[in-house]
Structure 1
Amino acid sequence: MARGAIVSFRLGLSDGVSVVARLWQEMLADIGFDMVTVAGEGPVDRLIPGLGIGQLDGPDPDAFSAAVADVDLVVVENLCTIPLNLPAARTVARTLAGRPAILHHHDPPWQRERFASVTELPAHHSSWRHVVINRLTAEQFAQRGIETTVIYNGFDTHKPEGNRAAMRKELGVADETLLVAHPVRAIPRKNIPAAIAIAEAVGGAYWLMGQAEEGYGATLNRLLAEARCPVIHRPVARTPDIYAAADLVVFPSTWEGFGNPPVEAAIWRRPCVVGGYPVARELAEFGFRWFSPERLDEVQAFLDCPDAGLLDKNQAIACRHFSLERVRSDLVALLDDAGWRP
């Protein structure tokens, strides 16, 4: 059996790249690969010190080479894309040069102001295939002379309903409380102040899932302490329960490479307030109807008189265009074109 490997900074955790990587791992296994995971952090099959975010000494080249020596196809998740560990990116790129590899790009450096000066990433070799998660990034890669395939993130559209009553009981939220869910990590571009302001405006309790990262802890503590609405700050393991418990989902980010929560809200039939970041506009072209942070009167009107037709339409669009079946089909097509399908 052909062996495949997923390589990244960290895997098996709750961050967005880990979640997408897990889905790709499952699909590649279904296609016929014996899959292993390789990372610097997380519950992985092959843990390589130096691959992780901030492990700036980088991995031992021989150790990484040995970790992928028996692998026929390597999928690199963002490690050779965003400069969170340049020595690791260089080692991985050198090791994989001339070998079959899919570089799955989520966050190229020019899309982050603090990394805009980095020009050596994304890594590129003629033996590789590059996959991006939106058309905007594909166009930006093309401007840099790199051909890509767009494969949008996919979701399990057959997931069961969550348990609203049990989740609200666990959170200590009364049945009659309007619960505003913000299922994100706490970092500046997630626009926590705008999310809190929405919860305040509609008279809801604000529920933030993720912990502070990128030095945002002190700012987050201040924002939550000053909020003029009830605040809940805790993660939840089961995604369906998040949406079952919520009455409104907020996602006022200033930038995202994709943005899973608006599509997840569509799958689980919840209204969503979405910021005007560029890829949100690209996704909206599929026909989603999301609410704008600048039009909270429309949000309030929906909450006062929910429109089942809007939720029906959003759910149908998500199932048609963002299913795991669609991702698998796109991935099979890429593998067939490259001659890499087992």
Structure 2
Amino acid sequence: MSSDSQRHGQNIGFVGTRFAGTDGVSLEAAKWAQILWDHRHVSHWFAGRLDTDPSISMLREHAWFGHPDILWINERIFGRTTRTTEVTRRVYSIAEHLKRSLYEFVDQFAIDILIVQNALCIPMNLPLGVALTQFIAETGFPTIAHHHDFYWERDRFSVNAIGDFLAMSFPPSLPSIQHVTINSAAQEALSHRLGESSVLVPNVLDFETPPEENDDYISHMREDLGLDPDDIMFLQPTRVVPRKGIEHAISLLAALKNPKCKLVVSHESGDEGDEYLHALHEMAEQQGVSLLMVSDRITEERETTAEGERTYTLGDAYAIADFITYPSIYEGFGNALIEAFYYRKPVLVNRYSIFVKDIEPKDFKVITMNGYLTKDVVAKVQRVINEPEYREQMVQHNFELGRKFYSYGVLRRKLRALITNHTGMDDL
């Protein structure tokens, strides 16, 4: 570690499959980098897809899980229990290339600490996990491994031909690695399965800086999305995949029996096909619910398309929404729930396990369901719509609790401990 970095903070190397777009891993990594930057630490980026500044980044195509060579491997290791020697050879060949790149990355940017984002817990890019494990084992490099999803939490990885690689690298047990989990269930599973301790760091938002007031630009949004001024906008701020339980949101609007209630879905289908999307459209049509899919109008930044149409951010969608639906069956954490608290919006939550274990005990005021809608749930939603004073009390209470438990201040304290464990200095 250089004396210069001791005076001016550490050079942090973020490593993952991609740091681009609005996926949860990229967003949380950006928050970590912001907090670290506020305290003199300089972040650099290594991935297969990047929208970071090229001058502080290293792009290696094979680090991306969507690279054709990685997809070729994945087709031959999941859903089966044996693999060919050629698959093994390719895994090690690509891993060797990526390991050399990691040595280059650390040398080029004088990296002091690696922060690995999800690449050592879920095997979407097997060679990258192997490369990281070998690099860290060879160097004893100070590493923080931030685990968002473990492979054992996903059915798609349950049948596989890579038990040896999983035991070695997902995640590895090496003395220079500090493990970070995002919920207590993952923390307990890591301890039970591997005997590894971890630091629990929840996903956070900048509650110290409340959302800005609505401006002139956003005043056009309802009309642009196809809503009338007096419509009641229910926002489903998630991708269109079955585990999000969007059918429950449709059933809720059908039960409210108010044609002014409209369901707006912000994101597109995930990587699981469009069958679920078609089923939702059919269900909405049968139940007389107005379902608006607006992913083409929600972008990372406000802009105007070539056709002259305005686009808006997800934050804009929260700002104009009247109610948030979050009937997920499973979530690793629940970013959309914390976003609802941040934007001071009432929310319906299906009591998924992490909510029950980590979030519900903190006494947030939300409307909950237990896997199915009841008349009582519908009545509670109706009350929130009808009683502005009750709604305001609810959302303000949630904002204050969010500031207490899920703010940048919480992340700052956690990162201070993690960095200090490696440096011996209180660097944040």
1:248 corresponds to 2:323: yes
For residue 53 of structure 1, what is the amino acid of its counterpart?
F
Structure 2: how far apart are the matches of 1:217 and 1:111? Answer: 23
Does the 8 Å contact 1:161/1:268 carry over to 2?
A: no
1:292 corresponds to 2:368: yes
Q: CA deviation at 1:169?
A: 2.9
Give the alignment of 1:221-240 within 5 angstroms. Answer: 221-227=278-284, 228-235=288-295, 236=298, 237=300, 238-240=313-315
Residue 83 (structure 1) aligned to one of 120, 123, 131: 123
177-186 or 98-107: bigger deviation: 177-186
1:217 corresponds to 2:271: no
Alpha-carbon RMSD: 1.9
Structure 2: how far apart are the matches of 1:181 and 1:266? Answer: 14
Higher Cα Rg, which structure: 2
**Percent identical across equivalent pairs?**
27
For residue 154 of structure 1, what is the amino acid of its counterpart?
V
Distance 1:212-1:233 versus aligned 2 partners, 3 A rule: same
Q: Helix, strand or coil for the counterpart of 1:195? A: helix
Tell me the TM-score normalised to structure 1 length. Answer: 0.93
The equivalent residue for 2:416 is 332
Distance 1:296-1:122 versus aligned 2 partners, 3 A rule: farther
1:4 corresponds to 2:53: no
1:153 corresponds to 2:194: no
The equivalent residue for 1:207 is 264
For residue 129 of structure 2, what is the amino acid of its counterpart?
A
For residue 114 of structure 1, what is the amino acid of its counterpart?
R
The equivalent residue for 1:312 is 396
How many residues get paired? Answer: 342
Q: CA deviation at 1:213?
A: 1.7
Structure 2: how far apart are the matches of 1:241 and 1:162? Answer: 8
Distance 1:10-1:171 versus aligned 2 partners, 3 A rule: same
Structure 2: how far apart are the matches of 1:162 and 1:41? Answer: 33
Distance 1:216-1:290 versus aligned 2 partners, 3 A rule: farther
Does the 8 Å contact 1:160/1:240 carry over to 2?
A: no
Structure 2: how far apart are the matches of 1:150 and 1:38? Answer: 24
In structure 1, the gaps of 5 or more residues are: none
Q: CA deviation at 1:136?
A: 1.5
Q: Helix, strand or coil for the counterpart of 2:152? A: helix
Structure 2: how far apart are the matches of 1:301 and 1:260? Answer: 25
Give the alignment of 1:105-120 within 5 angstroms. Answer: 105-117=147-159, 119-120=166-167
For residue 192 of structure 2, what is the amino acid of its counterpart?
Q
Q: Helix, strand or coil for the counterpart of 2:276? A: helix
Does the 8 Å contact 2:241/2:276 carry over to 1?
A: no
Tell me the TM-score normalised to structure 2 length. Answer: 0.75
1:101 corresponds to 2:185: no
Q: CA deviation at 1:198?
A: 2.4
Q: CA deviation at 1:91?
A: 0.9
Does the 8 Å contact 2:240/2:276 carry over to 1?
A: no
